[in-house]
Amino acid sequence: MQDESGKAALGSPAVASATTAQNSLHLNGHNINQNGHNTTATPQPEFGSGAPSPTPSPVPVIPREQWGGKYEFLLSCIGYCVGLGNVWRFPYLCYRNGGGVFLIPYFIMLFVTGVPLFLMELSLGQYGAAGPITVWKCCPLLKGIGIGMLCVSCLVCLYYNVIIAWTFYYLASSLQSPLPWSCEAIANVGLCGNITTNSSAGRGLSPTEKFWNERVLGVVNSEGLHDPGPVRWPLALCLLAAWIIIFLCMLKGIRSSGKVVYVTATFPYFVLIVLIIRGATLEGSLQGIAFYLTPDWSRLANAQVWNDAASQVFYSLGIGVGGLLSMASYNKFDNNVIRDTLIITGGNCCTSFFAGFAIFSILGHMAWKKGVPVGEVADTGPGLAFVAYPEALALLPGSVFWSIMFFLMLFMMGIDTLFGNMEGITTAVLDEFPHLRTNTLHKSLFLGTLCFCFYLMGLLLVTDGGIYWFTLIDSFSTSFGLIIITLFMCMGISFFYGVNQFCQDIIDMIRHCPPWCTKVLYYFKACWVFCTPFLLLLILIYIFMEMYNTSLHYGPYVYPRWGKALGVCIGATCCMQIPIWAIVALCKETGTLKDRFQKSIRPLNSWRVNLNSSIRVEQQMGPERVEAPFTVTLTDMDFTAMRWDAGTEA
């Protein structure tokens, strides 16, 4: 196999024959290999009459960081997956899509698309030891997939840190007693006294809803998407603090972030368990749990439900964003990716499911207090976590302490997820410009510039009308564009790179592959070739046929047509990178269109040439083996004194 430069790919017969020719003995006209086989008798001069051919200088290999241990990688991936989406997005989607019926499409999408694609990303990153762009040396035609992942990751980082800024604001507000959103606060005495009266005439307004909409968002001062209003500087300062923390934690790469996750990935579970226990003791909690688990079967015919399920699987697991691929690229070559996939996806799924109990037990209590159905007790969107949870915290003994703990938990969850997204961006750039890895100053300047640019762009989302822009980006950045990216990734690896070759790569990495791993690979192979592409394609058809016929809204505000078109353009920008860079790859090749296509789907020479594979090759070779060309000249006495067995290996 050769690329455009004419060099044979690593592992091809051309390289094998070249290495054999270099490591052979020239014995009086006989070409004898090191293993003792007598090959073709080619006349060779006894003495080299010309100058020795210059030995090509080796290409310098820049050392690549690796995780300090397997637990750092596992905790980093669990922290990356178990984020704010498990707390506010998954329960909110259940709440919006008819309760427990949402669990059916969620689990279908998880087992047929989520877990197989999760394993594909981890395996691709670990085997190639490269980020989301450079890893497509395995198939240059699909380099646009990596660029699209980078675009999605940038959009997620842009609005995700705004949620962390909200948690900072609530965390600072929690340092006072009574809590400003509780009924004990002087400003809320009249409001809490009128809840029952307001409920008889219409929907009651709780102190937490007033605090969220008026003091935090300021959305009451904006008319819609066209009226963002001024920047809310308290939120802007919180956003700046969030980006400074991200910068400091990622300054040393995985060496620093890998240690932070020991706390940030485990502490949220402690707080979540306490909230579940407390919620179960509240009056009316069973009503909320029943709403959570009771399915409304008619909702299954709605394409939006299936789209939300696919979006939540990709959003929660981080598929198609590049973070998983980047974190796996720092693994040891022989790490068991199948085991890690099952552990991480299982832990993420269980966390989402049990977080729903904490959310809906509180919603049931709120509905009981207001005397309304569960489906009417909270706003949609991220406000669910900033309305329902604060009200639950106000009911706990020592509410100030638990409020601090809860919002500290939200902060840790958000930081972990943002680590993965930022790692996807930085790894992609550092792999394309490897000299930045060796220069600490330049690497720090790049990271600081990236964080500052994200901060400046994020100021739009902390204006009075910022929540409208937040909802727009959140709705379309992880929607059809992300599904198209993962669809092409799945089909590209399965049909261009070769699903059999990819499965063999996984077995080569695991080395001592247990029997159960081999059997599980049959299931994943069937998903990669048939089930996953088919289901993703079906979801896309539903999206384009029905989804955009429904209106996008935040609360009572309905988005205008131009706002919806802008959201579609945001999603299209990400997936359009695939055909653009495919055309670029075809233009770089020569020959007919068919020849260009065949050349562009071949792995480059540098594929599989990384630090991990180099170490593996060195371990397999004997210590005495010489890699440079050499010639040994023997006399006739030396030749006749030796006994050669042409058919036996030495």
Q: What angle do CA 144, 472, 377 make, to 5 degrees?
A: 135
DSSP letters along 373-413, please? -GGGSS-STTHHHHHHHHHHHHHSTTHHHHHHHHHHHHHHH
Assign residue 28 a region: left if phi > 0, alpha if psi is -120 to 50, beta otherwise?
Answer: left
Query: How far is 470 from 382, CA to CA, in rounded Å?
Result: 10
- Per the document, the length of the chain is 650
- Residue 178: is the preceding peptide bond cis (ω within 30°)? yes
Contact assessment for residue 148 and residue 575, using Cβ atoms and an 8 Å cutoff? yes
Q: How far is CA 328 from its chain centroid?
A: 10
First to last CA, the chain: 31
Query: How far is 546 from 543, CA to CA, in rounded Å?
Result: 6
DSSP designation for 553:
E
Contact assessment for residue 313 and residue 398, using Cβ atoms and an 8 Å cutoff? no
Contact assessment for residue 386 and residue 171, using Cβ atoms and an 8 Å cutoff? no
Pull the structure tokens for residue 4: 């455009």
Query: Strand pairing partners for 38?
Result: 32
- Asked if residue 82 belongs to a known ligand binding site, the reply is yes
Query: How far is 463 from 191, CA to CA, in rounded Å?
Result: 26
Contact assessment for residue 32 and residue 630, using Cβ atoms and an 8 Å cutoff? no
Nearest to 353 by CA among 532, 104, 113, 536: 104
CA quadruple 252, 253, 259, 260: dihedral positive or negative? positive
Contact assessment for residue 393 and residue 403, using Cβ atoms and an 8 Å cutoff? yes
Nearest to 144 by CA among 585, 590, 593: 585
Nearest to 486 by CA among 311, 280, 645, 359: 311
Nearest to 173 by CA among 221, 128, 238: 238
Pull the structure tokens for residue 607: 């594929």
88 membership: H or E segment, kind and range: none
DSSP letters along 558-599, please? EPPHHHHHHHHHHHHHHHTHHHHHHHHHHHHS-SSHHHHHHH
Pull the structure tokens for residue 586: 């075809």
Rg (CA), the chain: 29
- Asked if residue 79 belongs to a known ligand binding site, the reply is yes
For 605, the 3-state DSSP assignment is: coil
Pull the structure tokens for residue 307: 């789209």
Nearest to 226 by CA among 563, 485, 557: 563
Query: Strand pairing partners for 463?
Result: 231
- Asked if residue 316 belongs to a known ligand binding site, the reply is yes
For 49, the 3-state DSSP assignment is: coil
- Asked if residue 148 belongs to a known ligand binding site, the reply is no
Pull the structure tokens for residue 626: 């010489």
DSSP H helices, 302-336, are 303-317, 323-328
Binding-site residues sit at 79, 82, 86, 316, 348, 416
Annotated binding site for Na(+), which residues?
79, 82, 86, 316, 348, 416
